[in-house]
Amino acid sequence: MSGMKCGLLWKVINGVLIAALGAMVVIVFVNACLRYFFNSGIPAGEELSRYFFVWVSALGAIVAYREGKHIGVDLLLAALHGTPRKVVALIGELLVMVAFILVLWGGWQFFLTSAASPGPATEIPFGFVSVSIIFVSASIIVMSLANCIRLLYNDGGSEISGSEG
């Protein structure tokens, strides 16, 4: 994917993340005010805010992985230099890919069993929520694969963690 298209993709993901977080905050605030002042609320509000929360979490995980912001223990990696450092980083990326391949498989199984179930208040199919597992897993697998390729073909030994490129 070219740099321009990739930059646009990240802008879209960040825009959707901001919009979903904003919508979730507004829905929860309005629902809380309606419950407090009028003893009623928007029936679909809780369900919609829950759906937005799932997607904010999923998109946030993708952005955090791209920027290398997830919590990690890098004592060994920080102590190594050159080829040993690349080998340990490559092993770490391969472990991330294996873990997310398992999450992807489990997410697909979950999607198959829950996709057609409608939400109780909104009637939005639960597949809208469960597909987030597939999306986040596939995204992190692709970014981890890109990190592996970068590690294998980067002779400069520059920054290993994160995948901003």
Digit-coded pLDDT (tens) for 93-115:
999 999 999 999 999 999 999 99
> Does residue 58 fall inside a structural domain?
yes
The tally of domains found in the chain comes to 1
Helix, coil or strand: residue 7: helix
Which CA distances in Å does 147 have to 100, 136, 154? 14, 16, 10
Question: What is the reported pLDDT for 41?
Answer: 87
Whether 161 is in a domain gets the answer no
Q: Is the pLDDT of residue 163 over 50?
A: no
| C-beta of residue 43 within 8 angstroms of C-beta of residue 121 | yes
In a domain, residue 145? The reply is: yes
Domain presence at residue 163? no
Q: Is residue 118 part of a domain?
A: yes
Is residue 159, in this structure, part of any structural domain at all? no
Nearest CA to 27 out of 54, 45, 53 is that of 45
DSSP 164: -
Residue 158, domain member (yes or no) = no
> So what's the pLDDT on residue 114?
92
Residue 51, domain member (yes or no): yes
In the predicted model, what is the mean pLDDT of residues 86-98?
94
Angle value at C-alpha 78, between 74 and 82, nearest 5 degrees:
125
Domain that includes residue 23, residue range = 3-153
Contact 58, 116 (CB under 8 A): no
Residue with tokens 């980083």: 89
Select the more confidently predicted residue: 41 or 165: 41
Confidence of residue 158 (pLDDT cuts 50, 70, 90): very low
Rg (the chain; Cα; Å): 20
How many of the other CB atoms lie within 10 Å of CB of 105? 12
Q: Which two tokens stand for residue 46?
A: 């809780």
pLDDT given for residue 164 in this prediction: 45
User: What is the distance between the alpha carbons of residues 98 and 137, in angstroms, rounded to a whole number?
Assistant: 11
Q: What is the pLDDT of residues 9-55, one digit of tens each?
A: 899 999 999 999 999 999 999 999 999 999 998 889 999 999 999 99
